[in-house]
Amino acid sequence: MLEFALKLTQGGFTLDAALRLDAGVTGLFGPSGSGKSTLLAVLAGLQRPAEGRITLAGETLFDTATGVNWPPHRRRIGVVFQDGRLLPHLGVTANLRFGLPARATGGPSFDHVVEVLALSGLLSRRVQALSGGERQRVALGRALLAAPQLLLLDEPLAALDEGMKQQILPFLRRVKEDFKLPMIYVAHAINEILHLTSTLAVMDAGRIIGYGRFSEIIHEQRVLALAHALGLQNVLSLTVVSSDVALGSTSARHGAQTFLLPLARLAPGATAQVAVRAENIALALCPAAHTTIQNQLPGVITRITPLANRLLVEVDAGLPLIAEVSARAVNDLALVKGTPVYCLIKANAFAFLGQDSSLEVPTQTGNTTGHSPAPKRPGLA
């Protein structure tokens, strides 16, 4: 368990944050300049606050009242930054082993970390020869080998392009599931955080303005406004049914609902994490006929939340969906809580999160099944 209450002033910025975190992954979300990186630096001992207290796993790491201030190397907090911060004069193996002699007992073995992060092919490489994604995997491995009690990930994907991000996200999930370390994951994109956890702490202007499950705190007005400004997305966990290369589509299910998605390199039975923006979901009172929109999901409105001249309409469609619609549309359709509706979503509005592009697609054309590499996604409506 991590608990802190901290104050720090730098120029015109003031950090005044307090929170108690249990085990598991917490996403730290907020706009640029809100204090996310500063908070992580203070927790790791890289910056000293003016006043406050930090406790981790029952031990006091910092307390201005008693004069306690453990240096970074004693705090057992691993940190992964945007740029990895690897030692350029050392190779991959030496970077991974850096700090190992001083590590506490009970940490993961070198071989186990290498296996989880698929680093065996990189061990003989020099840092300068690594791609951005490979650097971040090595940095993550180095942090894990220091046997931390807490892992801080400060926008570890921010410097990567979208394709590289999708390659690294599965490794972050493996770390979460395999090591079960408490983690704080900082990101600007909610969909990136929701790929790892549904627990969020939201920061704005140096303060934590919301903490809890995403589905609960999203209703708080300040949190909702921030999430909307930074791109509110629905993140869904679906089970792949089949893929049709000829038609350029993948079908997936959640309970009784079937979704048609862009073509994915995922085998039947695999879990697909997908995101769809709230403004890309339209609502109708009945199924739409003669349309190219492939997904028409029946559901019931559970909440309507005003936001400026727009409204966020939450729908229970067997899983929660949030649609952003105009006030006029809500008025014209007389939408209220309890109204049965259909959520209309184009297939190409879905984006896959953390898709492993090394997998092959089982093709389905008529009654024929087999395996072939997936082509680029066509413009599926």
Q: Kindly list the domain boundaries of the chain, sorted by start residue.
A: 2-231, 234-372
| pTM reported for the whole predicted model | 0.76
343: tokens are 């959520």
pLDDT of 72: 94
What local confidence, expressed as pLDDT, does residue 158 receive?
Answer: 87
Q: Tally Cβ neighbours within 10 Å of residue 261.
A: 28
CB contact set of 111 (below 8 Å; sequence gap of 6+): none
Which neighbouring-strand residues pair with 13?
A: 10
Confidence of residue 355 (pLDDT cuts 50, 70, 90): low
Beta bridge partners of 5: 18, 53
- Produce one character per residue of 226-259: b if its CB has 16 or more CB atoms within 10 Å, e if not: bbbebebbbbbebebeebbbeebbbbbebeebeb
The pLDDT score that the predictor gives to residue 370 is 36
Residue 362 burial (C-beta neighbours within 10 Å; 0-12, 13-18, 19+) = middle
Main-chain dihedrals φ then ψ at residue 233, nearest 5 degrees: -130, 150
pLDDT of residue 191: 78
Give the integer Cα–Cα distance in Å for 290 and 198.
Answer: 37
d(CA 3, CA 263): 44
Residue 192's pLDDT band (cuts 50, 70, 90): confident
Kindly tell me if the per-residue pLDDT of 381 is higher than 50: no
- Compute the distance between CA of residue 352 and CA of residue 245 in angstroms, rounded to an integer: 17
For 2-231, CATH gives 3.40.50.300
Q: Indicate the class that CATH gives domain 234-372.
A: mainly beta
- Tens digits of residue pLDDT in 38-95: 999 999 999 999 999 999 999 999 999 999 999 998 999 999 998 878 999 999 999 9
**Beta-bridge partner residues of 371:** 362
Query: What is the Cα–Cα distance from 345 to 295, expressed in whole angstroms?
Result: 5
**Residue 60's CB: how many other CB atoms inside 10 A?**
15
Please say if the pLDDT value at position 359 is more than 90.
no
Q: Which two tokens stand for residue 322?
A: 């949030």
Confidence of residue 159 (pLDDT cuts 50, 70, 90): confident
